[in-house]
Homo-oligomer: A and B are copies of this chain.
Amino acid sequence: MEIKTIHGAVPGMETYTGIPEELKLAVLEKIKPSEAEKKKLLEIQEELAAEVKAAAEKLGVSGVLVKMVGSAARGTWLSGTHDIDVFISFPEETPRKDLETLGMAIAREVAKHAEYAEDRHAEHPYLNIIFKGFDVDLVPCFRVASASRIKSAVDRTPFHNDFVKARIKGHEDEVLFLKQFMRGSGVYGSELKTQGFSGYLTELLIIHYGSFDKVIEAACSWKPGEKIDIMQHSEIENEEPLVMVDPTDPRRNVAAALSLDKFCMFIDSCREFVKNPELKFFFPAPLPPLEDREILDRLESRKSTQLAVVFKTPNVVEDVLYPQLYKMEQSTATLLKEYDFSMIKTGVWSGKNETVIMLELISGTLPNVKKHIGPPVWVRTHAEKFKEKYEGAENVFGGYIENGKYVFEIRRKYPMAKGLLENQLMHCSVGKHVCQSVSEAFEIIENAEICRLKDFDFRVFLRKWM
């Protein structure tokens, strides 16, 4: 599907006439919930509300209200997603301990009619259940008078819900367009793995700018530090790529989780879309996995060194896992640089069974000789100690004076990046769960050996990687 726009002479100065009507229809057809889907969701929500009330009654807990929040409650959910957020709200004065015990007791009562249930934990415990095919979070919270008085992060959600619901009517499709566009660009989702745009942030962008088209057009010219303050009540000083002041809390940046690169990727996508608004931005063709022969061809063509640190994926939720993986990615790169290896790039992939830290190097091998530069000759005590240590010592090739400094050519401890990682990886700072897994077992595999990793998703990741 190719849709023409009017092109100006200067790059980036094209006149964007908005998302073409036929593209709109093609996208909506795929993402807008049907009447039947809406009806079904409404029914399930009512059923869940009734279940919670019944459970509270059965357990003799009074003062409990049920609140449906999230995109399902606001009519901004994408067709095919089956997420429902049920908030079980307690009076503000409820002791924290009671909220947790009674809230979870009610949730567990509801879960008796669910296909599956799992305890989860954010600031408080909550229950995740599969209920008639829907992915439902049952979340106990405090019913506070205003968002500025919240006792727990989740208490904010009902305020977000009210704010959006009061303003989004008639703009739901615009939210759907934007969410799907972000999804297609790989920037949708505020979890710690993605560090992109949250659903709430997407809704606020539509409320602020008025439409999908206007968000896209504005984002083309965003710069880091872009600040949007719908209620004109900001109390935020810090500089982040995007500051979306929470309309319900002047101190909170709704876009705090957004990384600089995801911010930039969105800008980049918007500019490309404006030049050429096509369906592929919403629904990019899935990448096929990289075949063995393609891996070998690309290794041969690039001639860099590919290293993969492979270990068992720790059994923790992604929001716990990914910060640890990103930390490990950084610390392995730092280790390699410390020992003179030049990085091209680093990456993280994590599947159900295995996790891989990918490292691309200028070379995985360095010469045995390493130039070790000492103090200037005239800084006498230091210089003499340095010289005494190295002159004629084992593993020293020779020495000379260069730019007034003693220089010794010494034998490099780790001429191979692989050997360095095998020996020193355990001294890298990585998170608790990753450390546990790595200390059980890990493997460093190099270049063509990567063909041993057969996971479909990893091979898709590799296609983008190399």
Are B369's CB and A302's CB within 8 A? yes
Q: How far is the CA of A241 from the CA of B401 in the complex (A)?
A: 14
In the assembly, what is the distance between CA of A466 and CA of B464, in Å?
Answer: 43
What is the bound-complex CA distance between A258 and B455, given in angstroms?
A: 65
A260, B303: Cβ atoms closer than 8 Å: no
- Indicate if A345 sits at the interface (CB-CB under 8 A): yes
Measured CA separation A271–B365 after assembly (Å): 38
Inter-chain CA distance A371–B344, complex, in Å, is: 7
How many of A's residues come within 8 Å of B, CB to CB?
53
Say if the beta carbon of A223 comes within 8 Å of chain B.
Answer: yes
Of A20-28, A286-294, A373-381, the segment with at least 4 beta carbons within 8 Å of chain B is A373-381
Known: A369-B303, A371-B345, A388-B11. A221 touches B363 (CB 8 A): no
Does the CB pair B303–A11 fall under 8 Å? Answer: no
Selected contact of A384 from candidates B271, B340, B362, B376, CB within 8 Å: B271
Expressed in whole angstroms, the minimum distance between the Cβ of A329 and any Cβ of chain B is 13
Cross-chain contact of A220 among B220, B222, B380, B388 (Cβ < 8 A): B380
- Contact partners of A409 in chain B: CB under 8 A: 302, 344
Q: Is A80 an interface residue (CB 8 A)?
A: no
B384 A264 Cβ-Cβ under 8 A: no
Q: Are A224 and B378 in contact (CB under 8 A)?
A: yes
Q: Is the CB of A369 within 8 A of B344?
A: yes
- Report 15 cross-chain contacts, Cβ distance below 8 Å, ordered by A residue: A12-B381, A221-B380, A224-B404, A241-B404, A261-B401, A261-B403, A264-B376, A301-B368, A301-B397, A302-B369, A302-B397, A303-B367, A303-B369, A304-B369, A398-B464
